[in-house]
Every structure is written in C-alpha cells, then in structure tokens.
Structure 1
C-alpha cells in the first residue's frame, strides 16, 4: 500500500534473482503491519478485509487462495526466501505451534494503521496494539518451548518488518470528504501527530526485544489504481495523497534516526518504499511492465473500484502489471522492492541494506 534516479534494468533483474542468504537460515522473522504484509491473519476473522478467495492466491490455476493481497507472494514471503527459511505463519494459524514457533510469526492484519480509529469500517481487524500484545503472547509460548534464555536469543536475533501508515491516509484522513481526522487536523499537522504515535509503537517493539527492525515508508499512494479511479482524469497521480506521502516519509526517517540515537544503536532501518515503487511506475519499460496504472484484477476505471473478486475483470498476463488489485502490487513488483531491500544503496535503505544487516549480524554471532 511514492524519485529521480532509476535503477537500470540489469541491476533490477540481478537484485530480483539474487540468491537467498543461507547463513541466516535459522534466524526468526517477525512481521507487523497492514495488508501489504498480512499473510492470512484476517482470514481467521469476520471482516471484509480478507484475501482468502480466488482470484487471490499463489497457485491460481488450482484456485487455491492463500490469504495474500497479491496474485502470489508478498514482501515477507520473498524476504523469507532470502533468509533461506519458510515463511512465518500467521499468528492466528492453528499450525503455529511446536517447532514452527522457531521460524517466527506474522502478526499483520489488513486494514490497520498507526491510529486505532484507522480502518474502523473493517470492524474486526488486529490493531497494532493487539499485534504487539500477540507478540508478548508468542514469546510466552516460545519460552515454554525452548526456555527463557534461548527464547530471548531468538527474539533479540530475529529480523523484524513493520509496515504502517498508508491506511492512516487512505482509510482514515482521506477516506471520506470532511473526515473526523481531517476536521481535527490540517494535513501538515496530522503527519507529525501520526509520526509521534508511530514512535511509541517502535519504542514498544524495542522494549519487547526487537533489535533489527525494517521500517517501511509509505508508497506512492496517489498513484494506486483506487486513487486514480477517484481523482485522475488522464492518469496523473492524486495530488493530495502525493503531498501527504511527501510530508510523511521524510518525517518518518527523521523520527527513526532520532530513536536510534536515543538507543545508541542502529536498531531501526528505514526502507524508502516510495522511491522503490516509483522507480517502476515512472519507468515501467525498464522493469518489463506494460501497465502501471490499471490493476490486474478489479472493475471500473483503472480496475480501481471495489474489491478483487471472482466476478472482476482479471488480466491475462500478471507479469505485465505492477498492481494486482486497487491498492496492492503484484508479486513481480514485490520482488523488485525486496531486491532493493537486499541490495539498495543508502538512498533506498538507511543506514544499510538487508544484505549488509545479515552479513554484519552473522559476523557478530561468530565473534
């Protein structure tokens, strides 16, 4: 759920095809956030924010939906490949027990935001405070399995991904004209407010033992098919949402850097997902896309109206489309983004990319 320098096609392809890091195969992986990283928690809840029916899913020919808001793998799945590990199961999955706990857990829930009133229309979702509470509960289960000392080592040594913020704009501030939050705050005041709330969330995550956390920025919200359908006449990105993103992302980076200074270590790493996504949106031919405006699955202008369902228009060539549905990227786009997570310069990952993190942490474990 958005840049000037464009990564050459060759570099992009090399990043996408990069081999997983086998040295980190035993490292646990925890995921927090919204639909961009939810791998099935909401499918155990009574909510409209679900992706458990075709055409969603990895194995589309057999119509086996997997709960990802994508035509295939999402960002956590692809990161797990690079870790040399199986994907962490959704926390609500009954299969998350025994040795599966050692892999980690995905606590993300589609529709949530930084604020508790974000996504209220979806009713029954796992708000971020509840995700953190589930993380505490997970650690109790882990301690029962491996003992307190080993459980602490697993949590402290884990990689953590958190993705929040997009819904606080599209499913809160800009959800309806004259929303409660837009009457309460001008956008230039709303952004510092949610940034300050996000700082509390990250601080709590650190208190709960997270020591390597990738914090993603907000992507090009004004350029997604849903917003083009509502606001665009000739395919131009929605100006208000683009302005909001341009305010939010730099303040997020500054907040994270300040938090690291207080801690005295680079616990939190920022991912410039706005730029990562905008690279292929602004130069689709460099990445093999023929369509970066229309969703593969949907209806209405740009296929950006409503949900992706079995009754929707569905494109024939998913490799040619950057967006799967009204808000979410295709697996191909997700792989481009994770390629930058792994190998991107400090313009994309600050203060270091994921390959560097894995190498540094592996070296520290050997000392």
Structure 2
C-alpha cells in the first residue's frame, strides 16, 4: 500500500513538472468578443446565433461546421498559428480540460456587444460580463491544475484578443428604425457612450490579469453584404453605418492610447480593422479577390438577406470573395487581416504590431 501511495505521489510530481515546463514553452491565448472570433461557444447554447450547420466550415480541415462564422479559419485561428499553437477551444467545450487549459480558451459568443442590451433577439448568448466570469472560473481551474503562482504567470504572459462593438450598431442602434437606443442618443453621443463602456471592459480585463491585449475596432460596417442589401443605395455601402464606424474606430484608438498612458506601459494594442478591410473593398484585385460586395453564401441582393444555410446560394471558389456570409469575412480575408495585425504600420495597428510584441515578449 505504501509503495502504491509513493508511486502515485511521484506520478503527480512528474505531471506537475511537465505542466510547468509546458507553461514555460508556450504562450496562452484568450479570446473575448462576438461572432467574428467565436470558435463555437454558441453551439452549446439554445440560440439562433449559431454556425453549426453546413456549409459553414466547408473549407476547414474537417470540412464540417465547428461554430465558426467562416468557411474555414477565423481570426483567432490565424493568430494561434502565428503563436505556434493549436487553436483555442471554446470555453464551453467539454474537451477543454487538463493540459488543454494551458493553450488558453475562447470565451467569445456570437451576437454580443459592448452593451448588455445588444443582441437581445438572440436571447441566450454569453454577454461580456459573463465572458469575464468564465475567465475567472478558468483561472480557478488552471490554479487547481498547476498552482496559483504558475496560473497567474500564464494569464499575465498570455496574449488576449477582444473583438466587440460592431453588434452595438448592427444589432442594436440600427437593428430597427427608431430603435430605443437611436431615440435615446444621437449617433455621436451613442459612440461616446460605447467608448465609455468599452473603457470599463478593458479596465476590468486588466484587473483580471491581462497584460497584452489586442483590441480590434469594427470593420467597415456599411459595406457588409447585409447592409448593402438593406440600407445601401444603388449597391453602395450604407452611409450611416459607415459613419458609425468612422466615428467609433478613431475614438477607440484614442482610448487605448489614454489607457496605456495611465498604466505607464503598452498593455493595449489598437488594430484598426476598418482600415484593413477597406483595402479589400476598394481594391479587391490587389489581394486576389474578384468580389468585395456579394457574400459567398446567402440569398437575396448581394446574398445579404437572412442566414447562410444548406439551401443558400454558394459560390464555388471561396478564395475570391471578401465576404463569406452576410456579415463575416471569408477565411482568406481573415488571413489577410491577421497578416496586417502581425506586420502592419502604425496607422493601422498601434503602438506596435503583433510581430513586434511577440519579439519583445519572447519568454524562452
């Protein structure tokens, strides 16, 4: 009996040492936000905001839908590749346990926004306050696995991505004519309100231990196929949504500069995804795209009406469309966005690009 206990103790010690070594080798990656970065959390929820049926995932390694709003990889997947890591699992996945916790976790949920009343039509989604609660729960699970000090090190040294804000316009302010928020605020005042609430989210993320946080703005909201179809004139980008993005993104960049100044270090990195995506839309041929207006999967004008389903129109070559469905970039467009995040100039990612961050934070 004594030898059995001793053997078990040795096995546990060896496991602990191997996990600590794993911590030292890699860098965890945590993801917060909406459908642009959801890796499948909504698959586990009773909600209509899901991407769990074909043809989603048609160009992924498995060829099957995973909950990503893409024909293949999304932005977090490409960032994981840049980190030399496997993709993060959705936090709600039963597979996220043991050593898989050391890779990080994806807490994102399609439909959510900065504000709690964004996406109410989707009912059961993981709003930002709940994503943060899950992050606290994750940290407790990690501490039980490798000890509190090592767990804190994993969180402090991790790369964090947060992508939120677009739904606060598309699925709140502009969801219906004369929405409650549009009656409450003129657009510039609403943007100011969103920025003040986003500040609270970023400050809370810092309090939870995040020390390298990549913050993406909204894309060119008025140019997505859904908005072209519903609000565009003669096929042009919807001007009000474009105005919203043009107001929001520079203020978000300013906010990040203010927070870094207050903290005395470059914790937050601003990625202007609107400017990045504008390049595809204004000059698609330069990137090998042939269509920057019509979604690959959908129906109606620009394939921008309704959901992408097995009954939808589906383009044959997904590599030539900027947009996969009514709202989301194609896999290839996601890859270009991450390339710009990695190597972009200060006008699109500041105070430094991700490659510089990774070089500075080489923990090996």
TM-score by length of 1: 0.91
**Distance across 1 between alignment mates of 2:58 and 2:204:** 34
Q: 2:160 maps to which residue?
A: 160
Gaps of 5+ in 1: 1-23
User: How many angstroms apart in 1 are the aligned matches of 2:60 and 2:214?
Assistant: 30
Residues 101-138 of structure 1 show CA distances to partners (whole Å, capped at 9, x for unaligned) of: 00000000000000000000000000000000100000
Shift of the alpha carbon at 1:234? 2.5
| Corresponding residue number in structure 1 for 2:149 | 149
**Contact 1:58 1:73 (8 Å CA) reproduced:** no
**Aligned match of 1:192:** 192
Alignment correspondent of 1:328:
328
> What is the CA RMSD across the aligned residues, in angstroms?
1.2
Deviation digits for residues 253-305 of structure 1, max 9, x if unmatched?
11111111111110000001001100111000100111100000000000000
Verify the 8 A CA contact 2:341 2:353 in the aligned structure 1. yes
Aligned counterparts of 2:249 and 2:286: Cα–Cα separation in 1:
25
Q: Contact 1:295/1:302 (CA < 8 Å) preserved in 2?
A: yes
- Partner in structure 2 of residue 5 of structure 1: none
Indicate yes or no: 2:288 matched with 1:288: yes
Deviation (angstroms), 1:58:
4.7
After superposition, the Cα gap between the structure-2 partners of 1:322 and 1:128, relative to the gap in structure 1 and judged at 3 Å, is same
- Alignment partner of 1:30: what SS? strand
Q: Which residue of 2 aligns with 1:263?
A: 263
Match of 2:104 in 1: 104
Shift of 1:332: 0.4
The residue correspondences of 1:227-246 to structure 2 (distance < 5 A) are: 227-246=227-246
Report what 1:307 is aligned to: 307
Moved more, 340-349 or 57-66: 57-66
Aligned to 1:206: 206
Q: Is the 8 A contact 2:232 2:239 kept in 1?
A: no
Q: Deviations over 1:312-335 (max 9, x none)?
A: 000011011010000000000000
Contact 2:166 2:221 in 1 (8 A): yes
Work out whether residues 55 and 310 of structure 1, in 8 Å CA contact, stay in contact via their aligned partners in 2: yes
Using the alignment, how far apart are the partners of 1:346 and 1:59 within structure 2? Answer: 33
Deviation digits for residues 192-219 of structure 1 (CA, Å, limit 9, x no counterpart): 0010000000000000000000000111
- Tell me if structure 2 keeps the 8 A contact 1:173–1:182: yes
The aligned residue for residue 30 of structure 1 is 30
Report if aligned partners of 1:54, 1:60 keep a CA contact under 8 Å in 2: no
Task: Rate the CA distance shift 1:327–1:201 in 2: closer, same or farther, 3 A.
Answer: same
TM-aligned CA deviation for residue 233 of structure 1: 3.3
1:50-109 CA distance string (max 9 Å, x none) = 001100015569752111100000000000001000011000000000000000000000
Equivalent in the alignment of 1:3: none
Q: Distance in 1 between matches of 2:268 and 2:61?
A: 40
Distance 1:59 1:274, change over 3 A: closer
Conservation of the 8 A alpha-carbon contact between 1:59 and 1:65: no
- 2:361 is paired with a residue of what secondary structure? helix
Relative contact order (alpha carbons < 8 A, sep ≥ 6): 1 or 2 greater?
Answer: 1
Q: Is the 8 A contact 1:25 1:84 kept in 2?
A: no
Shift of 1:235: 2.1
Decide whether the 8 Å contact of 2:269 with 2:351 is kept in 1.
yes
Q: Distance in 1 between matches of 2:62 and 2:87?
A: 21
Gap change, CA 1:189 and 1:317, over 3 Å in 2 = same
Report the 3-state secondary structure (helix = DSSP H, G, I; strand = E; otherwise coil) of the residue aligned with 1:100.
Answer: helix
CA distance in 2, matches of 1:61, 1:159: 25
Number of positions where the alignment pairs a residue of Structure 1 with one of Structure 2? 341
The 8 Å contact of residues 25 and 85 in structure 1, kept in 2 or not, is answered as no
Query: Does the residue aligned with 2:278 lie in a helix, a strand or coil?
Result: helix
Pick which of 119-128 and 233-242 moved more: 233-242
Aligned partner of residue 214 in structure 1, secondary structure: strand
1:326 counterpart SS class: coil
Distance, in Å, in 2 between the alignment partners of 1:341 and 1:58 is: 25
Q: Which has the larger radius of gyration?
A: 2
Structure 2 residue ranges without an equivalent (≥5): 1-23
TM-score norm. by structure 2 comes to 0.92
Residue 175 of structure 1 is matched in structure 2 by 175
Contact 1:25–1:83 (CA under 8 A) maintained in structure 2: no
